[in-house]
Amino acid sequence: MIIFTEEFRVFFNDLALKKIADQCLKASLDAFNVNNGNIPKWSVAIEELKTIPKTKIELNEPYISIGQNGNNTKIIETALKRLLPWRKGPFIFDNLKLESEWQGGLKWQRLQNHITPLKNRRVLDVGAGNGYFTLRMAIEGASKALGIEPFLLFNYQYAAIKSLSNSKINAMLLPIRLEEMPKLAIFDSVFSMGVLYHQRDHMQHLSQLMEMMAPDAELILETLVVEGPNGYSLIPEGRYAQMRNVHCLPSIETLKSWLVKANFKNIKVIDINKTTPEEQRKSEWIGDNAASLEDFLDPSDSSLTKEGHPAPTRVIIICQN
């Protein structure tokens, strides 16, 4: 069990967060308490990392970096390889560069100058993966950066990162789905990046995001889109770019109409970007011979996925409640 009651208590010691602390703790404990055959292996990794001296966590663009004296690289590598695949990053631990599948710095660059600066804001990062972006939000000065991510492995990856750091960083990751979050309008910035297309009910996701937002808060929404007029969406039969659980890819106009329907205002498209193999890349950190974007596209036409759909393009929208 990697729950961290002390860390939890310190993080939730905030007037607004205190109101949801008990429910968040219960949901997290329940999530960690499942029968998952990988937990013993993941726990070994955390125990191995705990033996290493803790040092400062900082940004060494695009890497989140935890420096050491160079003596622990092998132990760290062995431990972190028990937690494959590392989708989100990149990180540097000691002298070890962990080149994750996704080059997260590129997404951050696309939105960084458009969002309201995070300094002193309470931030919710929905579908946070291993917390790469949650940590960046805290490094940017968020008063609290809470990531929620139901996939347990990513929570263990986050615990691994945290176990090497002695910084009092205002970030926390909990194994909770947005649906399970106690609904209280307390977050000044809410991020939903790469999550909407995984939802069966996109309108429910948008209204649940809205419910978490304090007055005059900002939503930063990043999702897959397709070209087309207002009203058009692609509902893939089977997989999309080899991903399961991709339910609906709207056109940008359709997405904007969903946001209007969910009562968001000041809806601004700040970026449209076709995913490249530079951003989503093969790496030893997703396992030997594991596939990545280049394997998901049609080998004779990279504008299409293997299934014949338009290749992944992502939009970032900022709007207010």
Q: How far is the CB of 311 from ligand SAM (least distance, A)?
A: 16
Q: Residue 248 interacts with ligand SAM (CB under 6 A)?
A: no
DSSP per-residue string spanning 41-110: HHHHHHHHHHTSPPB-EEEETTEEEE---SSSHHHHHHHHHTT----S--EEETTEEE--SB-HHHHHHH
Site string for ligand SAM, 93-132 (x = CB under 6 A): ---------x-----------------------xxxx---
Name which of 82 and 198 has its Cβ closer to ligand SAM.
198
Site string for ligand SAM, 57-96 (x = CB under 6 A): -------------------------------x--------
Best CA proximity match to 193, nearest among 95, 141, 115, 122 = 115
- 8 Å CB contact between 298 and 305: yes
Structure tokens at 272: 């449209």
- 8 Å CB contact between 249 and 197: yes
Q: How far is the CB of 191 from ligand SAM (least distance, A)?
A: 7
Question: Which of 54, 82, 110, 177 touches ligand SAM (CB under 6 A)?
Answer: 177
Within 183-278, where are the H helices?
A: 202-211, 252-261
Residue owning tokens 């997290």: 28
With contacts defined by CB under 6 A, name the span among 45-53, 59-67, 171-179, 213-221 that binds ligand SAM.
171-179
- What's the longest Cα–Cα distance across the chain? 57
What is the Cα–Cα distance from 317 to 250, expressed in whole angstroms? Answer: 13
Residue numbers 15-44 binding ligand SAM by CB under 6 A: none
With contacts defined by CB under 6 A, name the span among 8-16, 148-156, 232-240, 271-279 that binds ligand SAM.
148-156
Name which of 46 and 196 has its Cβ closer to ligand SAM.
196
Name which of 29 and 106 has its Cβ closer to ligand SAM.
106
Residues engaged in binding ligand SAM (CB under 6 A): 88, 102, 126-129, 133, 148-151, 154, 177-179, 193-195, 198
